[in-house]
Structure 1
């Protein structure tokens, strides 16, 4: 019986997702179609309203609820992060830039040596 209920819920979820996509598609089409006839403010309000309605319908599905739960958990985890101070970020950036310059110069030097070595071995002078 629970398998039947899950299948029924998933079929309703499919209908809800189709309705969500239709509403969003209608918002895009309406925004494009009424470009000349309606002001930007009313078109923007219509699109925002359609997105809110579509989002509300999507949140009623199983995947929508799971996605919203995931977003809430991710926000909680981001709050736990210890962000670097401005000084630490600046110091790390300078270290990365210096390391990048040093590696670039080293690779440029090695490339020059290899070009000269290959030209010597092949007999083609530069």
Structure 2
């Protein structure tokens, strides 16, 4: 990253910090203005980052991510319900298995090993 880009990133962080500081400096009864301070800091920081190489790289990455998400084949409603049913069935069977193992181990340790039965 070039030094000018580092300066831009630092300036963006400073703008966010100033927006948050403005939130705490302004009086409590000025809620809208306090919120506007944070939003303005974020928007100004985004504008500064927009003109830096990391900002352009992020925008390119976001566009590629949206393109990839559009390629996903989502399951139908029927497939979703079927998969959900299989998951619930598996969880039920696993719960019964864990209960059986826990009961057997408890019986073994309390009755046989410790003799408290």
TM-score, with length taken from structure 1: 0.81
Shift of 1:26: 0.7
Shift of 1:74: 0.5
- Does residue 81 in structure 1 map to residue 83 in structure 2? no
Shift of 1:43: 3.4
CA-to-partner distance for each residue in 1:29-69, whole Å, 9 max, x for gaps? 112221435341x3333432321221121122222221111
- Does residue 97 in structure 1 map to residue 114 in structure 2? no
Instruction: Specify the SS of the correspondent of 2:115.
Output: coil
- Runs of 4+ in structure 1 off by over 3 angstroms are 42-46
Residues 121 and 51 (structure 1 numbering): CA distance in 2 closer, same or farther, change over 3 Å? Answer: same
**Corresponding position of 1:60:** 51
Instruction: Specify the SS of the correspondent of 1:83.
Output: coil
Structure 2 CA distance for aligned equivalents of residues 58 and 119 of structure 1: 66
**Corresponding position of 1:5:** none
**Corresponding position of 2:10:** 18
CA-to-partner distance for each residue in 1:7-35, whole Å, 9 max, x for gaps? xx611111111110110011111122214
Aligned residue pairs: how many? 117
State whether residues 20 and 37 of structure 2, in contact with CA within 8 Å, keep that contact through their aligned partners in structure 1: no
TM-score, with length taken from structure 2: 0.86
Structure 2 CA distance for aligned equivalents of residues 93 and 76 of structure 1: 28
Could you list the runs of 5+ residues in structure 1 that have no partner in the other structure? 1-8
Instruction: Specify the SS of the correspondent of 1:84.
Output: coil
